Structure 1
Amino acid sequence: MHQIVFGTSGWRGILCEDFTFENVKIVTQAIADHVASIGERGKGIIVAYDTRFMGERFAKETARVLAGSGIKAYFCKRDTPTPVIAFEIMRRGTAGAINFTASHNPPEYNGIKFSPSWAGPALPETTKDIERRANEMLGEVCYREMALDEAVRAGLVEEIDPREQYLADLETKIDFAAIASLGAIAVNPLYGTGRGYLEVPLMKHGANVRTFNMNRDPYFGGFPPEPSEKYIQDFIGLVKNDSEIKLGIATDGDADRFGIVDGDGTFIEPNYIIALLLDYLVRFRKMTGAVARSVATSHLVDAVAKKHGIEVIETPVGFKYVGELISQDRIIIGGEESAGLSIKGHVPEKDGILACFLVAEMVAREGMPVKALLERLYGEVGKFVTKRENITLSPSLETGYAAKQQQAPAEFAGLKVKEHVTVDGSKFILEDGSWLLFRKSGTEPVVRLYGEASGEAKLAAVMAAGKAFILG
């Protein structure tokens, strides 16, 4: 029997294999018991889902189990973005939310993401308690449930639609009037929950909007719903071939990640967007505070921070750590290389919708395409080129991987190791500022190799040295 294991963003599994109605009810009961144990039973829990197969059905079963434990379920009427759920947790003051999403994973996956009352992704101490409770129940019918119509009559299930309140809040944080002056904007929610959140406020303010992939499709057009260069080639082509489009914006399946396509069809890496927005928020909005980035995120962020005299906080991978700093009001912006960010005064959760609008506002107010803004920034702080590669390990290499990390060489590609960072995995800062990061997957025999250097040739040499170290 599959054990329940929460990763960086919840428990995910393949439909009909480990992600079953029985296991969903067990995990829901574990969450209900956890919430009761910390004295928050009376606050209620938001129940939501994205556009994946069976999302509504799983959500209804969850509402029944919560009702069986006397916990009110605020049931979202339609598929809802993850950041909107976080906003609604804060607005209503609930004990948290249970969201059925597997984010950018392929369509055969679904998942449960629990966000506690502070509205960010659950921290390890929370997920460990839920895991323990769930795994103790596996194989037993020990969840409590109530018929849905009975739960509604008892006031334990209430339908909600948090869209209007969230969009009204965005009106206070985004200069939509400036965006409307930009020209044509292409919008791509990738068949996911961003429908009605990306295009509606733009149209309301008179922006010229081109929409793509706006229908709900659990297959996500045959690709994982990830707004990366690899999976949005159709969108990139559309932007490139329409001379009127000045910017393309996209979100993933649950709208917590973003993808940016410049007007000429160039895909802009999320790493660089975080640094550009930091610079923009400091210069145009005069925002103050530190900046947070994950250990795998570009040091272009650090260079911008140095330019402005700002502290950099390096976190483990997982937005929960960045979100905690947002909730403490310590940082201007926090982000991850995997296209997640949020800003001061907003939700402590990745928000792809907010990110897209911030980029559009930046381009409009700066009067320059994203590529030009990036080149200007490189001229001020230096150039940074990043790459990530997954390396599959043989059984023998996997067995010896941990020991190898303890015997790392003193140099890579002829560059001496200046610092060894162990915040999350093994990160080696080299004498010229280049760096390598090795992170072992917790679920498969794969090492994720990240690298950064000041140019393509140097990065290729550093990455080759890192790969040789792992496979040697």
Structure 2
Amino acid sequence: MHRIAFGTSGWRGILCEDFTFENVKVVTQAIADHVTSIGEKEKGIIVAYDTRFMGERFAKETARVLAGAGIKAYVCKRDTPTPVVSHEILRRKAAGAINFTASHNPPEYNGIKFSPSWAGPALPETTKDIERRANEMLGEVCYREVALDEAARAGLVEEIDPRETYLADIETKVDFTAIASLGTIAVNVLYGTARGYLDEPLMKHGAKIKTLNMHPDPYFGGFPPEPSEKYIQDFIGLVKSDPAVKLGIATDGDADRFGIVDADGSFIEPNYIIALLFDYLVRVRKMTGAVARSVATSHLIDAVAKKHGIEVIETPVGFKYVGELISQDRIIIGGEESAGLSIKGHVPEKDGILACFLVAEMVAREGLSVKALLERLYGEVGRFLTKRENITLSPVLEAGYADKQRQAPAEFAGLKVKDMVTVDGSKFILEDGSWLLFRKSGTEPVVRLYGEASSEEKLAAVMAAGKAFILG
């Protein structure tokens, strides 16, 4: 029997293997018991889903279990972006949300993401309690189900559409008039939940758009629904082939991550987008506060912060930690290298829709391409190049990995280790400002190796040294 384990963004599993109706009902009951234990049962829970297989069916079964526990379920009428779910939690003052999504994972996966009443991804103390409750109930009929029509008559199930209230809020945070002057914008929702959210506001304000992959597809066109360079070659080709296109914007399956393609078809790494938007929000919008980034995210953000005299808060990997700072109104912007960000006054959750709109606004108001903006920023604060690589460990290497980390060398690629950060994994800051981060996966024999340096040559040398250390 598969045990329930929550990762950085919820519990995920392969459909029909561990992600089954029975296990979903057990996890739902565990969430219901958790919400009851903290006195928030009367607030109700939002139930949402993305475009994956059986999402709507899982949502309805979850509503039946919640009704059996005496908790009202606000069930979304259609597949709904994760940031929209977060917005609706806050608007309704709900106890939280159960969202069926596996984000950017391949199509054979589905998942449950629980967001509590503060509307960010659940923190470890919450997920550990839900895990414990669920695993104690596995293999038992521990829940009561109520028929949907009966639950609706009892006021325990209500269908909702949170789209308009979310988009009305976005209108207050984005300069669509500026965006409309940009020229043609290419839009790609990767067969996911952002259709009607990414395209329609642009058209409403008179922007010209070209769209791709706008219909729901649980296979996501045969690729993981991740807006990374590897998986959006069709979109990059579309942007390259049309001189009228000034920018390409994309979101992942549940629209919490973003992908940006410049006018010439160049894919722009999320690390650089976060830094550019940070600089833009401070310099143009005059926003104040600190900035947050995960330990794996580019120090280009630190350089921009130094330029403006702003505090940098380094968090573990997982947007829940950044979201908590957004919720506390402490930061202007917070982001992760894996293409997640949010800003002050917005939801404490990754929002790929907002990120895309902000990039379009920045490009329009600055009158420069993304690459030109990045080169200008490099001229002001220095050049930062980043890379990530997954390294698979043999059983022998995995067994000795912890000991190896405790005996790390005093230098990499001929550069002395100046400092070490252990917020999440082992991060080595080198004497010239380059750095390496080793993070062991909690679910597979893989080490995630991150590196950053000021040139391609230095970055290659630092990454090679890091890989040699892991495999040596």
User: 1:64-463 residue pairs with structure 2 within 5 A?
Assistant: 64-463=64-463
5+ long unaligned stretches in structure 2:
none
Give the superposition deviation at 1:144.
1.5
Q: SS where residue 348 of structure 1 aligns?
A: coil
What is the DSSP-based 3-state SS (H/G/I as helix, E as strand, rest coil) of the residue aligned with 2:229? coil
SS at match of 2:400: helix
Counterparts of 2:437 and 2:392 in 1: how far apart (Å)? 15
CA distance in structure 2 between the aligned counterparts of 1:151 and 1:167, rounded to whole angstroms:
30
C-alpha separation in 2, matches of 1:373 and 1:161: 38
Deviation at 1:219, TM superposition (A): 0.3
Identity %: 89
Counting only pairs closer than 5 Å after superposition, residues 32-71 of structure 1 correspond to structure 2 as: 32-71=32-71
* Count of residues in Structure 1 that have an aligned counterpart in Structure 2: 472
**How much has 1:121 moved relative to structure 2?**
0.1
Q: 2 CA distance for matches of 1:116 and 1:145?
A: 22
More off after superposition, 143-152 vs 197-206: 143-152
The runs of at least 4 aligned residues of structure 1 exceeding 2 Å deviation read: none
TM-score (norm. length: structure 1): 1.00
SS in 1 for 2:227: coil
Q: Distance in 2 between matches of 1:143 and 1:266?
A: 51
CA distance in 2, matches of 1:309, 1:192: 39
For 1:95 and 1:431, the matched residues in 2 are separated by: 48
- What letter matches 1:194 in structure 2? A
Amino acid at match of 1:226: E
Deviations 1:17-40 (A, max 9, x none): 000000000000000000000000
SS in 1 for 2:273: helix
Aligned equivalent of 1:14: 14
Q: Distance in 2 between matches of 1:315 and 1:212?
A: 35
Which one-letter code corresponds to 1:261 in the other structure? V
- Matches of 1:250 and 1:234, distance apart in 2: 12
What's the offset of the Cα at 1:126? 0.1
CA distance in 1, matches of 2:422, 2:218: 39
Aligned match of 1:25:
25
What are the Cα deviations for residues 134-192 of structure 1, in whole angstroms up to 9, with x where unaligned?
A: 00000101112111110011110000000000000000000000000000000000000
What is the letter of the counterpart of residue 214 of structure 1?
Answer: M
Question: How far apart are residue 303 of structure 1 and its match?
Answer: 0.2
TM normalised by structure 2 equals 1.00
Question: C-alpha distance in 2, partners of 1:440/1:314?
Answer: 19
Q: Deviations over 1:191-247 (max 9, x none)?
A: 000000000000000000111100110000000000000000000010011000000
* Root mean square deviation, CA, Å: 0.3
